[in-house]
Chains A and B, each alone.
Chain A
Amino acid sequence: MTLALSKRNRLRQFLVLSPPLLWTVLFMFAPYTILVVYSFWRAQFPLAVPDFQFGNYIEIFTDPQYARVLLRTAKIAGLVSLLALLLAFPYAYFLAFKVRKPGLRLTLYMAVVAPLWVSYLLRAYTWKTILGTEGLLNSFLMSTGILSEPSSVFLYNQTAMVVTLTYVFIPFMVMPIYAALEKIPPNLIEASGDLGEGAIATFARITVPLAMPGIVAGFTMTFCLSFGDFISPILVGGPDGLMIANVIAAQFGAALNWPLGSALALVMLVIVLGIITASDRFERLGQARLS
């Protein structure tokens, strides 16, 4: 009787779970498997020939242009994360500790988070219109007389990319940091003051260590999202602004070298997974210290 019941339960569980399971297998694991298989094939323009060889990987690790793109991508993603952190932390701190009215706090929080509902492309495009020769920045500088004619130095370079990506991904930095700061009991701050520490020392010894899980989470998300971005290089990046995702896209597109593209994609995947794992370890270490 109980056996039959548990069997029925299991059947029902299976029925409920099978659509999402099927979906995951079909649309997540299958593409990755195909990617792995392709990465060992050989390219014979314009075809990909089935094979099992490491030529694509050898090319990636020996041809310096790939290392250069990877480094540039990491540099831009690092700069974006750093800039986002420097902007997001004070903002989240201000929201969590200085804004007293809950209504105002929600409004200011939503002001940062709401753009996530707007298409990514649109948000990145905004910066094209701000930084471009016909853009807001130029007309402002001209109307104040700082510039006599529109300048094109603002757009199509790495700075423009960093600015755009920071704007696009900063919500992912604000959210976890704000959540971590909000969880700090106010009387820990009071206790630190009571024990003789001033505001700055309290910030360094109590607030920042307790906000660390949020900082790490925000940094990881912003870094990984920027690392894989390929739209902003196209929109606002210059000739020296190609990122790894653009190179991969090119292999699947104009270059028609799917095996190399697959190998590059897998290398990138491993890097991102490595970063996520490291940050997860770090956070868990912090959790053990905190809980």
Chain B
Amino acid sequence: MTDIVTLNNISKHFGPVIGVDNVSLSVRSGEFVTLLGPSGCGKSTLLRMIGGFEEPTQGSVVINGDDVTHLPPNKRPVNIVFQDYALFPHMSVGKNVGYGLRVGGVRRTEVADRARAALELVGLGDRFDAKPHQLSGGQRQRVALARAIVRRPKVLLLDEPLSALDANLREAMQVELKRLQRKVGLTFIMVTHDQTEALALSDRVVVMCDGRVVQDGTPDTLYDRPSSTYVAGFIGTTNLFQGQVHGDTLHALGQKLVVPEGLAPEGRTLTFGFRPEKAEILTAAVAGNGTLPATVTDILYHGNSARIVVEVSGSPLSIDRTISDARHASGLPDIGDQVQIAIQPDRIMVLADEAAA
């Protein structure tokens, strides 16, 4: 597979403010890449530099083998879907979608045909003559998508495309977005600050912080092997604690845990962690090698699962348990119960501490 977009050490400074700080990134053709990070970390700025709306202070942007660093948006083979859709209010839906086709010198009748086909692709074939203000938020979103893909760009850029929708619609649109990407086979680069959205849709997630890339990997790598406490904290919930490894024993939480040999350098104090669903709650009677004695302090019931908060040597840990029984909440411990918890040894993660790295 070839790289369709390559960013070489690009930075963007807004006066004293550093929006993007020395980022390098390659996106392969057909890939669905997500830029994920908290507000103000530079995701939009990075995306806008690919689209041509911001000129990098340093570095270069290569799209489809051409250096486009200093080209305006209308000279780049990419299209963007704006967060608030940016539909032209004085044009019908069909005219909006066909807007970019007139530029290519396409004939009027063909413009209409292709616009209609693109609208059908997003399920709005019958709204060709409607005005944007007559559509719902989700429909406007789809018009914006149709308008961007109708020009068959090499890359489709999406800046928080679903953030203006309510939760139910957002989930439906996620499915549709993924289906659309598979159908048209385009390269998607999407910005989001919603980690579930990033994990659900992407082939690859790029986690950003303060204008830099902190980790770049597949969703399961990011989830199972976050490189830092920052990433672990940003994606899902993680129980974090300090500890030292000696052989196959991890000294942490005032206890001894069993870990695979060679998990971390011998004797160094590092941050370790595990995901809430990677541990089990056992009755106090079955204490064994590597289990930790704990006290249940809180139970949060979620319907198909429950989060049980326990305390081990004064530190709170969260543990998820799925509930498959018909009777809800059956088999859950009670608050105040003494229990044993068993963490799956191969699910304990080592996190490079920012200080150590």
Contact = CB atoms under 8 A, between A and B. Distances in A.
Nearest to B95: A205
A188 B103 contact: no
B74 A210 contact: no
7 contacts: A194-B53, A194-B79, A195-B99, A196-B151, A197-B99, A205-B99, A289-B89
Interface string B123-157: 00000000101000000000000011001000000
B82 interface: yes
A198 interface: yes
Contacts of A192: 88, 99
Contacts of B73: 190, 193-194
Interface of B: 51-53, 72-74, 78-80, 82, 84, 86, 88-90, 99-100, 103-104, 131, 133, 147-148, 151
Contacts of A198: 74
B142 to A, nearest CB: 16
Interface string A207-239: 001100000000000000000000000000000
Contact of A210 (B82, B89, B131): B89
A291 interface: yes
Chain A interface residue count: which class? Answer: 20 to 34
A206 interface: yes
B79 A195 contact: yes
A197 B88 contact: no
Given A190-B73, A289-B131, A291-B89, A195 B151 contact: yes
Interface string A178-191: 00000001011011
Interface of A: 185, 187-188, 190-198, 201, 205-206, 209-210, 286, 289-291
A188 B131 contact: no
B55 to A, nearest CB: 13
A187 B89 contact: no
**Those 10 A-B pairs whose CB atoms lie nearest each other, nearest first:** A195-B100, A196-B103, A191-B86, A193-B73, A187-B86, A194-B73, A193-B74, A196-B74, A209-B90, A196-B100
Contacts of A190: 53, 73, 82, 86
Contact of B88 (A188, A196, A201): A188
Nearest to B98: A195
A189 to B, nearest CB: 9
Nearest to A190: B53
Nearest to A187: B86
Nearest to B99: A195
A201 B51 CA distance: 19
A154 B262 CA distance: 96
Nearest to B83: A187
Contacts of B147: 195
B98 to A, nearest CB: 10
A210 B86 CA distance: 13
A194 B89 contact: no
